[in-house]
């Protein structure tokens, strides 16, 4: 190559590089993609199985609440909800930090949360709000503490009734306290918290939504110990070096077909809000229906207008959820309804219990044999007493003959993990 040709080649390369730089500079950076790594299913304020603060709300009080991430991230934001509020919610200030156990936090990890750069913000009734993003690296399975201070009266609070771990209350402003000494009252509910999200460079459909009732929520597991089946499923992924978002969308007592003041909006009513509207979900596992079968008559005292659902009604409801999930591009897995022999269901009337249990078995047979789900988890047989499939195995029974204990939830996580493969 002579000197003139080489000069021309170099000039052409320089021109191409300049053009590439110009195009790159003119191309806007991609918008951040947000992936929830912790969520909860929200409920209307009011009575529940345990005392809570939702009916009264808060005023000149600080609420400190613990959440556990299912996977890691370095940039995060918090989603708050006033979905069931009747007035605008004024948050005077909010912080997030690493938990030091109980109501205490690690002070060096404290971050103040803002919206639009302001530490105080309002959330209109029926609306959600997301905080500005913050740099705060978190590990998979790390427990974080969210503290909200309300200077003015909030009115009734959007909440999740059975969090399976403590939240704490203090009077006056203690949002930045490292010690938990001011937090002298506790509750078993979450208030206003909807989701913790991490920023990702590209879209992902790795999230798993676990949708259901108290079996998903974790009732019967060791309190404040993260032993629900969603927790244990997340731990399994992390132990394999494959942590991914695992989202617990269970509500204790929830029905698939009927709305309730105590027990949350029905599965049919809340499926879009709780599952389909979550970004980054690729799979949903549905374990629900036992309360529709059993909460008849006496359920009216709980505010649930249920009269004992038939197998046909429950199968139709499952089909509706399957269709909605498929339309959203989700893989959908069905889990069979656990046995409840010896529990308070049936009120001691064996004939009545047997009549209702036939509904459970018919629904389970359909889940297992219809082929309508993409995959199935036979949770009923996995947790049943080998000598009596109508009852929980004694080793898996929390004591009420209805809800699993920690070992039972380990078995439930294993059978769901197998269906996810």
Write out pLDDT tens, residues 121-158: 999 999 999 999 999 999 999 999 999 999 999 999 99
Average predicted confidence (pLDDT) for the chain: 91
Helices (H), 328-404: 350-369, 379-383
Structure tokens at 142: 């790390």
Q: Which residue has the higher pLDDT, 379 or 299?
A: 379
CB 93 within 8 Å of CB 131: no
Helix (H, G, I), strand (E, B) or coil at 153: coil
Lowest mean pLDDT among 123-127, 163-167, 259-263, 275-279: 259-263
In 3D, which of 140, 63, 137, 142 has the Cα closest to residue 103? 63
Stretch 378-387: mean pLDDT: 98
What's the pLDDT score for residue 75?
98
Phi/psi region, residue 296 (left: phi>0; alpha: psi -120 to 50; beta: rest), is beta
Q: How does residue 14 score in pLDDT terms, banded at 50, 70 and 90?
A: low
Within 13 A of 354's CA, how many CA atoms are on the CB side?
3
In the predicted structure, residue 105 carries a pLDDT above the cut 80? yes
Stretch 40-66: mean pLDDT: 95
DSSP 175-208: TT-SS-TT--EEES-EESEEEEEEEESS----EE
Share of the chain above pLDDT 70, in %: 89
CB 290 within 8 Å of CB 264: no
Q: How does residue 4 score in pLDDT terms, banded at 50, 70 and 90?
A: very low
The pairing of beta strand 143-150 with beta strand 93-98:
antiparallel
In the predicted structure, residue 266 carries a pLDDT above the cut 80? yes
What's the pLDDT score for residue 164?
94
Centroid of chain to Cα 398: 22
Which residues, 6 or more positions from 146, have their beta carbon under 8 angstroms from its beta carbon? Answer: 64, 65, 66, 67, 78, 94, 95, 96, 193
Q: How does residue 318 score in pLDDT terms, banded at 50, 70 and 90?
A: very high
What's the pLDDT score for residue 2?
55
What's the pLDDT score for residue 32?
80
Lowest mean pLDDT among 41-50, 293-302, 332-341: 293-302
d(CA 408, CA 392): 9
What's the pLDDT score for residue 307?
59
Which residues, 6 or more positions from 417, have their beta carbon under 8 angstroms from its beta carbon? Answer: 233, 236
Q: Using CB atoms within 10 A of its CB, is residue 352 exposed (0-12), middle (13-18) or buried (19+)? A: middle
What's the pLDDT score for residue 30?
66
In the predicted structure, residue 331 carries a pLDDT above the cut 50? yes
Q: Which residue has the higher pLDDT, 35 or 23?
A: 35
pTM: 0.91
d(CA 247, CA 206): 11
Structure tokens at 370: 């219809």
d(CA 404, CA 219): 8
Q: How does residue 285 score in pLDDT terms, banded at 50, 70 and 90?
A: very high
What's the pLDDT score for residue 27?
54
What's the pLDDT score for residue 390?
95
Stretch 292-308: mean pLDDT: 59
In the predicted structure, residue 13 carries a pLDDT above the cut 80? no
Within 13 A of 75's CA, how many CA atoms are on the CB side?
8
Query: Tokens 């460079």 belong to which residue?
Result: 201
Within 13 A of 290's CA, how many CA atoms are on the CB side?
27
Residue 388's CB is within 10 A of a number of other CB atoms, namely 12
In the predicted structure, residue 69 carries a pLDDT above the cut 80? yes
Stretch 244-267: mean pLDDT: 93
In the predicted structure, residue 51 carries a pLDDT above the cut 70? yes
In the predicted structure, residue 299 carries a pLDDT above the cut 80? no
Query: Tokens 């009252």 belong to which residue?
Result: 185
In 3D, which of 314, 315, 343 has the Cα closest to residue 403? 343
Class of domain 204-421: alpha beta
Domain-wise residue ranges, the chain? 29-202, 204-421
Structure tokens at 292: 């529709």
In the predicted structure, residue 57 carries a pLDDT above the cut 50? yes
């Amino acid at each position: 190559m002579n000197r003139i040709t080489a000069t021309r080649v170099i000039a052409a390369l320089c021109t191409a590089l300049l053009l590439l730089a110009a195009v790159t500079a003119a191309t806007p950076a991609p918008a951040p993609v947000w992936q929830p790594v912790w969520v909860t299913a929200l409920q209307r304020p009011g009575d529940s199985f345990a005392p809570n603060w939702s009916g009264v709300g808060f005023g000149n009080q600080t609420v400190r609440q613990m959440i556990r991430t299912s996977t890691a991230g370095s940039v995060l934001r918090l989603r708050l909800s006033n979905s069931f509020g009747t007035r605008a919610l004024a948050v005077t200030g909010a912080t997030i930090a690493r938990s030091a156990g109980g109501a205490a936090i690690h002070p060096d990890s404290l971050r103040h949360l803002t919206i639009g750069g302001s530490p105080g913000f309002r959330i209109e009734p029926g609306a959600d709000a997301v905080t500005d993003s913050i740099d705060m690296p978190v590990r998979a399975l790390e427990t974080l503490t969210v503290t909200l201070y309300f200077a003015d009266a909030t009115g009734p609070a959007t909440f999740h009734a059975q969090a399976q771990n403590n939240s704490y209350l203090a009077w006056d402003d203690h949002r930045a306290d490292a010690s938990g000494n001011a937090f002298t009252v506790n509750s078993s509910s979450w208030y206003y918290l909807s989701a913790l999200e991490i920023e990702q460079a590209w879209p992902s459909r790795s999230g798993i939504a676990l949708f259901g009732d108290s079996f998903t929520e974790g009732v019967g597991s060791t309190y404040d110990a993260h032993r629900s089946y969603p927790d244990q499923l997340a731990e399994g992924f992390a132990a394999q070096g494959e942590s991914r978002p695992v989202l617990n969308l269970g509500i204790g007592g929830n029905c698939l077909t009927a709305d309730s003041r105590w027990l949350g909006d029905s599965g049919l009513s809340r499926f879009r809000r709780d599952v389909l509207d979550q970004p980054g979900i690729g799979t949903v596992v549905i374990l629900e229906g036992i309360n529709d079968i059993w909460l008849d008559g006496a359920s009216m005292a709980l505010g649930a207008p249920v009269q004992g659902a038939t197998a046909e009604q429950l199968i139709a409801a499952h089909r509706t959820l399957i269709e909605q999930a498929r339309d959203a591009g989700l893989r959908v897995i069905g889990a069979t309804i656990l046995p409840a022999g010896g529990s308070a269901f049936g009120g001691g009337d064996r004939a009545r219990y047997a009549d209702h249990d036939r509904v459970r078995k018919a629904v389970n047979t359909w889940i297992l044999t219809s082929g309508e789900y993409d995959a199935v988890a036979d949770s009923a047989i996995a947790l049943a007493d080998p000598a009596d499939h109508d009852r929980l195995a004694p080793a898996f029974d929390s004591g009420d003959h209805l809800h699993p204990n920690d070992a039972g939830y380990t078995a439930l996580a294993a059978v769901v993990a197998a269906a996810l493969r």
